[in-house]
Amino acid sequence: MRLHICAVGRLRKGPERDLVTDYLTRFDRTGRALALGPCHEHEVDERKALTMRDQAVSLERVVPAGAAMVALDERGDMLDSRSFAQFIAATRDAGASDMAFVIGGADGLEPALRDAARKRISFGAMVWPHMLVRVMLAEQIYRAATILSGSPYHRD
């Protein structure tokens, strides 16, 4: 199952870009044996999509047709890393060929897009900058692959 991070905003050179690239490279190596990956990034330019509705339309364009869509939203379910890994594995095992994680801009996701998601996930009650959410998501995707592969990266 291919994974997709569909996000409003562009990660420029810097520490956030370096971290996302590192975690997704690790995921691609680890996930291959698990029928997971690669993980692609799709960026929506917030300068061309100023309103939440414009951002939602742009995000819908980059989400692959038929993908299991997961919204990153502060009102979503808080999962521990093992539950997140099990969710990814269960979606893969149910026959999904693509899973798309959708990250909104500074104002979040438009309600209609958020409600269309198969699942909503939160990284906690605090509000995080969308660029850091992308880093945290990339790390959790890699961590999920290590959990599923039995690697010692994740410790309980």
pLDDT tens figures, 139-154: 999 999 999 999 888 7
Which residue ranges make up each domain of the chain?
Answer: 2-149
Q: pLDDT-based confidence at 46, cuts 50/70/90? A: confident
Q: What is the reported pTM?
A: 0.95
Q: pLDDT-based confidence at 73, cuts 50/70/90? A: very high
pLDDT at 41: 97
pLDDT at 50: 83
**Alpha carbon distances (Å) from 34 to 2, 3, 30, 58, 134:** 11, 13, 8, 31, 22
Closest CA relative to residue 57, chosen from 121, 110, 101, 115 = 110
Q: How high is the mean pLDDT of the chain?
A: 94
Q: Which residue has the tokens 């997971």?
A: 36
Question: What class does CATH assign to 2-149?
Answer: alpha beta
- Reported as a single tens digit per residue, the pLDDT across 3-12 is 999 999 999 9
